[in-house]
Amino acid sequence: KQEVTQIPAALSVPEGENLVLNCSFTDSAIYNLQWFRQDPGKGLTSLLLIQSSQREQTSGRLNASLDKSSGRSTLYIAASQPGDSATYLCAISGGGADGLTFGKGTHLIIQP
Amino acid sequence: ETGVTQSPTHLIKTRGQQVTLRCSSQSGHNTVSWYQQALGQGPQFIFQYYREEENGRGNFPPRFSGLQFPNYSSELNVNALELDDSALYLCASSFRGRSYEQYFGPGTRLTVT
Protein backbone atom coordinates (compact mmCIF):
# COMPACT_ATOMS: atom_id res chain seq x y z
CA LYS A 1 0.00 0.00 0.00
CA GLN A 2 1.39 3.36 -1.05
CA GLU A 3 2.11 5.82 1.74
CA VAL A 4 3.01 9.47 1.18
CA THR A 5 4.75 11.68 3.73
CA GLN A 6 5.29 15.41 3.49
CA ILE A 7 7.90 17.31 5.45
CA PRO A 8 7.70 19.82 6.99
CA ALA A 9 4.08 19.88 8.14
CA ALA A 10 4.25 23.67 8.43
CA LEU A 11 6.68 26.34 7.28
CA SER A 12 6.82 30.10 7.78
CA VAL A 13 9.39 32.17 5.88
CA PRO A 14 9.90 35.84 4.99
CA GLU A 15 8.89 37.05 1.57
CA GLY A 16 11.54 36.68 -1.12
CA GLU A 17 13.12 33.49 0.16
CA ASN A 18 13.56 30.37 -1.95
CA LEU A 19 12.16 27.26 -0.32
CA VAL A 20 11.86 23.52 -0.76
CA LEU A 21 8.95 21.28 0.18
CA ASN A 22 9.56 17.56 0.47
CA CYS A 23 7.45 14.53 -0.40
CA SER A 24 8.42 10.90 0.10
CA PHE A 25 6.59 7.74 -0.95
CA THR A 26 7.03 4.07 -0.12
CA ASP A 27 6.26 2.32 -3.45
CA SER A 28 8.38 3.37 -6.44
CA ALA A 29 5.96 1.77 -8.93
CA ILE A 30 4.19 5.04 -9.67
CA TYR A 31 2.50 6.32 -12.84
CA ASN A 32 2.81 10.00 -12.05
CA LEU A 33 3.10 12.49 -9.22
CA GLN A 34 1.11 15.71 -8.89
CA TRP A 35 1.69 18.74 -6.71
CA PHE A 36 -1.41 20.69 -5.70
CA ARG A 37 -2.11 23.92 -3.92
CA GLN A 38 -5.11 24.28 -1.60
CA ASP A 39 -6.35 27.53 -0.13
CA PRO A 40 -8.34 27.31 3.14
CA GLY A 41 -11.69 25.56 2.64
CA LYS A 42 -11.22 25.41 -1.13
CA GLY A 43 -10.60 22.77 -3.77
CA LEU A 44 -7.25 21.70 -5.18
CA THR A 45 -5.36 23.54 -7.89
CA SER A 46 -2.93 21.43 -9.88
CA LEU A 47 0.53 23.00 -9.99
CA LEU A 48 2.74 20.43 -11.68
CA LEU A 49 2.46 16.86 -12.90
CA ILE A 50 5.53 14.68 -13.36
CA GLN A 51 5.23 11.44 -15.30
CA SER A 52 7.19 8.46 -13.95
CA SER A 53 9.64 8.71 -16.87
CA GLN A 54 10.43 12.36 -16.14
CA ARG A 55 12.88 13.85 -13.65
CA GLU A 56 11.46 17.35 -13.29
CA GLN A 57 8.87 19.86 -14.41
CA THR A 58 8.90 23.65 -14.26
CA SER A 59 6.17 26.26 -14.27
CA GLY A 60 7.11 29.86 -13.62
CA ARG A 61 8.70 30.11 -10.17
CA LEU A 62 7.91 26.47 -9.40
CA ASN A 63 10.12 23.47 -10.08
CA ALA A 64 9.28 19.91 -9.10
CA SER A 65 11.69 17.01 -9.20
CA LEU A 66 11.12 13.27 -9.01
CA ASP A 67 13.54 10.53 -7.91
CA LYS A 68 11.64 7.26 -8.09
CA SER A 69 14.53 5.11 -6.91
CA SER A 70 14.75 6.97 -3.61
CA GLY A 71 10.99 7.56 -3.37
CA ARG A 72 11.29 11.34 -3.20
CA SER A 73 9.96 14.47 -4.83
CA THR A 74 10.68 18.10 -4.05
CA LEU A 75 8.80 21.27 -4.90
CA TYR A 76 11.06 24.29 -5.19
CA ILE A 77 9.48 27.74 -4.93
CA ALA A 78 11.67 30.63 -5.99
CA ALA A 79 11.34 34.20 -4.72
CA SER A 80 8.35 33.44 -2.49
CA GLN A 81 5.46 35.90 -2.26
CA PRO A 82 2.65 36.35 0.30
CA GLY A 83 0.22 35.04 -2.33
CA ASP A 84 2.04 31.70 -2.20
CA SER A 85 0.64 31.13 1.28
CA ALA A 86 -1.45 27.94 1.12
CA THR A 87 -1.28 24.22 1.84
CA TYR A 88 0.75 22.25 -0.69
CA LEU A 89 -0.19 18.63 -1.29
CA CYS A 90 1.75 15.88 -3.02
CA ALA A 91 -0.21 13.01 -4.61
CA ILE A 92 0.80 9.76 -6.26
CA SER A 93 -1.07 7.94 -9.02
CA GLY A 94 -0.53 4.25 -9.64
CA GLY A 95 -2.17 4.65 -13.06
CA GLY A 96 -5.04 2.31 -12.35
CA ALA A 97 -8.39 2.70 -10.70
CA ASP A 98 -7.09 3.30 -7.18
CA GLY A 99 -7.21 7.08 -7.34
CA LEU A 100 -4.57 9.38 -5.93
CA THR A 101 -2.75 8.79 -2.65
CA PHE A 102 -2.11 12.08 -0.87
CA GLY A 103 0.23 13.27 1.81
CA LYS A 104 -1.13 15.41 4.63
CA GLY A 105 0.35 18.54 3.09
CA THR A 106 2.71 21.34 4.05
CA HIS A 107 1.04 24.48 5.40
CA LEU A 108 3.10 27.37 4.05
CA ILE A 109 3.00 30.96 5.31
CA ILE A 110 4.97 33.68 3.54
CA GLN A 111 5.44 36.68 5.80
CA PRO A 112 5.22 40.09 4.06
CA GLU B 1 -13.61 24.32 -21.93
CA THR B 2 -15.36 24.54 -18.55
CA GLY B 3 -13.80 23.36 -15.32
CA VAL B 4 -15.10 20.96 -12.71
CA THR B 5 -18.06 22.25 -10.71
CA GLN B 6 -19.75 20.91 -7.57
CA SER B 7 -23.00 21.57 -5.78
CA PRO B 8 -24.01 22.50 -3.21
CA THR B 9 -21.17 24.50 -1.67
CA HIS B 10 -22.21 23.79 1.89
CA LEU B 11 -24.64 21.33 3.43
CA ILE B 12 -25.80 20.58 6.97
CA LYS B 13 -27.43 17.23 7.72
CA THR B 14 -28.48 15.29 10.79
CA ARG B 15 -27.01 11.95 11.79
CA GLY B 16 -28.88 9.08 10.13
CA GLN B 17 -30.02 11.12 7.13
CA GLN B 18 -29.01 10.59 3.51
CA VAL B 19 -27.23 13.10 1.27
CA THR B 20 -26.50 13.49 -2.45
CA LEU B 21 -23.62 15.59 -3.70
CA ARG B 22 -23.23 16.53 -7.34
CA CYS B 23 -20.34 17.09 -9.68
CA SER B 24 -20.03 18.21 -13.29
CA SER B 25 -16.84 16.96 -14.89
CA GLN B 26 -14.67 18.78 -17.37
CA SER B 27 -16.01 18.30 -20.89
CA GLY B 28 -14.56 15.23 -22.60
CA HIS B 29 -13.31 13.58 -19.42
CA ASN B 30 -14.44 9.96 -19.09
CA THR B 31 -13.38 9.34 -15.48
CA VAL B 32 -14.56 10.87 -12.23
CA SER B 33 -13.18 10.24 -8.77
CA TRP B 34 -14.50 11.29 -5.38
CA TYR B 35 -12.41 12.12 -2.31
CA GLN B 36 -13.15 12.87 1.34
CA GLN B 37 -10.95 15.40 3.12
CA ALA B 38 -11.21 15.70 6.89
CA LEU B 39 -9.89 18.84 8.54
CA GLY B 40 -6.09 18.97 8.56
CA GLN B 41 -5.75 15.79 6.47
CA GLY B 42 -5.00 14.98 2.87
CA PRO B 43 -7.90 13.83 0.68
CA GLN B 44 -8.82 10.13 0.92
CA PHE B 45 -9.94 8.26 -2.21
CA ILE B 46 -13.56 7.07 -2.03
CA PHE B 47 -14.18 5.59 -5.50
CA GLN B 48 -13.73 6.10 -9.21
CA TYR B 49 -16.19 5.80 -12.09
CA TYR B 50 -15.19 5.13 -15.67
CA ARG B 51 -17.80 5.05 -18.44
CA GLU B 52 -20.59 4.98 -15.86
CA GLU B 53 -19.23 1.95 -13.97
CA GLU B 54 -17.46 1.91 -10.60
CA ASN B 55 -14.00 0.51 -11.28
CA GLY B 56 -12.08 1.31 -8.11
CA ARG B 57 -12.88 1.94 -4.44
CA GLY B 58 -10.91 3.04 -1.41
CA ASN B 59 -11.50 1.95 2.16
CA PHE B 60 -15.07 3.26 2.44
CA PRO B 61 -18.20 1.26 3.38
CA PRO B 62 -21.03 0.47 0.93
CA ARG B 63 -23.19 3.28 2.33
CA PHE B 64 -21.01 5.49 0.12
CA SER B 65 -22.26 4.99 -3.43
CA GLY B 66 -22.17 6.88 -6.69
CA LEU B 67 -23.44 7.34 -10.18
CA GLN B 68 -21.88 8.69 -13.35
CA PHE B 69 -24.03 9.93 -16.23
CA PRO B 70 -23.29 10.25 -19.98
CA ASN B 71 -23.51 14.06 -19.78
CA TYR B 72 -20.29 14.28 -17.65
CA SER B 73 -22.22 14.72 -14.40
CA SER B 74 -21.93 12.44 -11.38
CA GLU B 75 -23.29 11.96 -7.88
CA LEU B 76 -21.98 10.84 -4.53
CA ASN B 77 -24.63 9.39 -2.21
CA VAL B 78 -24.06 8.76 1.46
CA ASN B 79 -26.65 6.87 3.51
CA ALA B 80 -27.04 6.69 7.27
CA LEU B 81 -24.85 9.71 7.91
CA GLU B 82 -22.45 9.59 10.84
CA LEU B 83 -20.76 12.47 12.64
CA ASP B 84 -17.38 11.38 11.19
CA ASP B 85 -18.74 11.94 7.69
CA SER B 86 -18.35 15.68 8.27
CA ALA B 87 -15.69 16.70 5.75
CA LEU B 88 -14.93 18.45 2.48
CA TYR B 89 -15.96 16.23 -0.43
CA LEU B 90 -14.02 16.72 -3.63
CA CYS B 91 -14.62 15.36 -7.08
CA ALA B 92 -11.96 15.15 -9.75
CA SER B 93 -12.23 14.39 -13.45
CA SER B 94 -9.63 13.04 -15.83
CA PHE B 95 -9.26 11.38 -19.19
CA ARG B 96 -8.26 7.76 -18.84
CA GLY B 97 -5.74 6.92 -21.49
CA ARG B 98 -3.84 10.19 -21.35
CA SER B 99 -1.78 11.54 -18.48
CA TYR B 100 -4.30 10.66 -15.76
CA GLU B 101 -3.91 14.25 -14.59
CA GLN B 102 -6.81 14.97 -12.29
CA TYR B 103 -8.71 18.24 -12.19
CA PHE B 104 -10.53 19.03 -8.98
CA GLY B 105 -13.71 20.91 -8.25
CA PRO B 106 -14.12 23.43 -5.41
CA GLY B 107 -15.65 20.85 -3.07
CA THR B 108 -18.78 20.50 -0.95
CA ARG B 109 -18.48 21.10 2.79
CA LEU B 110 -20.73 18.61 4.60
CA THR B 111 -21.48 19.05 8.28
CA VAL B 112 -23.30 16.25 10.13
CA THR B 113 -24.85 17.19 13.47
With CB atoms and an 8 Å threshold, state whether B35 touches A49: no
Count of helices and strands (H, E) across chain A: 0, 11
With CB atoms and an 8 Å threshold, state whether A49 touches B101: yes
pLDDT score of B2 more than 70: no
SS3 A82: helix
Check residue B29 and give its pLDDT.
86
**Nearest CA-CA partner of A89 in A32, A48, A41:** A48
**Which of A57-78 are b and which e, b meaning 16 or more Cβ less than 10 Å from the residue's Cβ?**
beeeebbbbbebeebebbbebe
Q: How many beta carbons lie within 10 A of that of residue B29, not counting itself?
A: 17
Tens of pLDDT, residue by residue over B10-47, are: 999 999 999 999 999 988 888 999 999 999 999 999 99
With CB atoms and an 8 Å threshold, state whether A99 touches B56: yes
Check residue B98 and give its pLDDT.
63
For chain A, the first-to-last Cα distance in angstroms comes to: 41
Name the residue in chain A with its Cα closest to that of B9.
Answer: A42
| Closest residue to B99, CB basis, from A49, A96, A97 | A49
Confidence of residue A94 (pLDDT cuts 50, 70, 90): confident
Q: What is the DSSP letter of A61?
A: T
